[in-house]
Amino acid sequence: MRKIERIVIHCTATKTGQDVDIEQVRKWHVDGNKWSEVGYHYLVKLDGTIQPGRAVMKMGAGVKGHNRDTVHVAYVGGCDDSGKPFNTLNDDQRAAIYQVCTSLVRVFGPLLVIGHNDLTDEKACPSFKVTTELGQLVEWCQTGEGNTPDPNADKRQPETVAPRKYCRRCHRRFRM
């Protein structure tokens, strides 16, 4: 049995209102990326429906070099109508992410909740800062103690995070 230590939040990088399901994402990952299976363990649709993807006990394919101890949860959306990173997380999706993460903590114990963009400077995914947008969830998941957090407690003005174009260390421009 693999040791789970982190939950990584992703987006599908689809435009506002464009709903996709786990089978579509599986096609992108298998046919497009030539992976053996869908990379995410869970997908949260626009209406908050939670769809299982890759089995949790199988290593995911969400962030290169950071998959061994992680569970990957993606929400549908993450881009505006022009395809630029934009926080499209809605109330139903927020509640579903809370449900998935609190369930995982109950099974595996305290977990760190982070965004894909916390592990690489080259991605905006999930198009927001997880510690800001899902702050109470992040805090609760680290201990798993007390009442489960309320998904409505974190709601505030949406924040969008764009990928950095330059390396913080050497100031070289990233290839996008």
pLDDT in tens, the chain (176 residues): 789 999 999 999 999 999 999 999 999 999 998 999 999 999 999 999 999 999 999 999 888 888 899 999 999 999 999 999 999 999 999 999 999 999 999 999 999 999 999 998 888 999 999 999 999 999 999 998 888 888 877 665 555 555 555 555 555 555 54
* Residue 79 lies inside a defined structural domain of this protein: yes
* Residue 120 lies inside a defined structural domain of this protein: yes
Q: List the one residue out of 133, 35, 22, 14 whose CA is nearest residue 83.
A: 14
Is residue 74 within 8 A of residue 130, CB to CB? The reply is no
* Residue 166 lies inside a defined structural domain of this protein: no
* Residue 16 lies inside a defined structural domain of this protein: yes
Distance of CA 33 to the CA centre of its chain: 19
* Residue 170 lies inside a defined structural domain of this protein: no
Q: Give me the number of domains the chain comprises.
A: 1
* Residue 35 lies inside a defined structural domain of this protein: yes
Q: How many CB atoms lie within 10 A of CB 102?
A: 17
The enclosing domain of 74 has a CATH number of: 3.40.80.10
Phi/psi at 48 (nearest 5 deg)? 90, 0
Is residue 96 within 8 A of residue 49, CB to CB? The reply is yes
Full-model pTM:
0.86
* Residue 149 lies inside a defined structural domain of this protein: yes
* Residue 173 lies inside a defined structural domain of this protein: no
Range of the domain at 117: 6-154
